Amino acid sequence: MKCLYCDSDNNSMEEACSVCGAPLHIKRPQLKEYVSLQDSALPFQELQGFHTYDLLILLRLVREERSKSYSLMRTVQKAPEGAEIDKSVIEFGESEYRLYTARMKLIEGLLIDRMGYKPKRVDDKLLAALKHRIESE
């Protein structure tokens, strides 16, 4: 079995590469065809298997949804006193905001582990530069 990191041949029964010590039976992250907001609900172990590019796209989606949730929550909270707003609507807005905040922090944590920092902004320029680097290798 070939090591995915140093490309040396190893016995397929071994757990780690005899040259560099990397695990032999591990899958490296691959780019996904499509990343959606629903992917942010996946558990940590599955998100850890996402490619860094896909995590950046997912972070962008989660941040957008979090901003929408915050705006809606603030709109409801600032409603005039005479407006009848069900308490469950307010609680739902707040819970959505907390949920997307937790998901955002999880994804940012994974990106910090990989990149050493969390991007302040995930824009088209950052994604295009990363995509170009991926395709050139």
- Mention every residue, 6+ apart, whose C-beta is less than 8 A from residue 2: 8, 9, 10
- Are both 65 and 100 inside the same structural domain? yes
pTM score, two decimals? Answer: 0.82
- Are both 108 and 48 inside the same structural domain? yes
Digit-coded pLDDT (tens) for 34-86: 999 999 999 999 999 999 999 999 999 999 999 999 998 888 878 777 777 77
Query: What amino acid is encoded at 58 in this protein?
Result: L
- Are both 54 and 117 inside the same structural domain? yes
- Are both 57 and 113 inside the same structural domain? yes
Domain that holds residue 17: 1-28
Give, as one character, the DSSP assignment of residue 79. S
Q: Which residues pair with 9 in a beta bridge?
A: 2
Query: Which phi-psi region, left, alpha or beta, contains residue 89 (left: φ > 0; alpha: ψ -120 to 50)?
Result: alpha
